[in-house]
Amino acid sequence: MPDSPLAVLQQRLSVPSRQLGAPAPEGDALRALLQAAIRVPDHGKLVPFRLIALRGEAKRAFGERLAALALARDPAMSGAKQEKERNRYAHAPLVLVVVARIAQDSKVPPIEQQLSSGCVAYNLLLGAQALGYGAQWLTGWAAYDAEVATLLGLAPNEKITGFVHIGTPQAEVPERERPALEEVYREWTPA
């Protein structure tokens, strides 16, 4: 259904970050993507999210610092694992850190605020694909690490939702098996 209004959803797939190269959206295209991505459900109008861009030299410096943190925790870490940590964010030209800002004193439960932030990350995936780019939402140990949060300047009420890697696919990504609708859907009927 190429002309379907649901085509972006029906064809959505993640492009592995290692297969993302230049270019990434910039200028007006990036601004439009970001503006679309933040149009998410937001119970209480709390805006429980924010974005941090990692690009160029800053992205490389971030990878170096993560490798140093990992090595400090595991001094016996192999050279190959150190290199993996150093280059974790090096492939895609743009990495957006999606941050959940949780208002603890709100009537809106924290899970709803986190889900709103997750919707931002998902909208980035959909929007990037709609613009002809590829993207992958990753977490990994760095998303849950207090020192990484400090490195990124996160406040105590903020948590990393994920790192969304965006760029141009360098190879075709095969479709993966998806669940049959019948496996995940049913209608509730009263007993």
* Binding site, annotated residues: 12-14, 39, 43, 137-139
Contact yes or no for 88/140 (Cβ under 8 A): yes
**Binding-site sequence positions for FMN:** 12-14, 39, 43, 137-139
**Residues facing residue 162 across a β-bridge:** 98
- Looking at this protein, which amino acid is placed at residue 168? T
Quickly list H helices, 1-46: 7-10, 27-37
Nearest to 144 by CA among 136, 131, 154: 154
In the DSSP assignment, the letter for residue 156 is: T
Distance between first and last Cα of the chain:
38
> Helices 27-37 and 110-130, interaxial angle, to 10°?
140
Nearest to 132 by CA among 5, 35, 33: 33
- Looking at this protein, which amino acid is placed at residue 100? A
Q: Is residue 110 classed exposed, middle or buried when 0-12, 13-18 and 19+ CB atoms within 10 A define those classes?
A: middle
Tokens found for residue 36: 């679309």
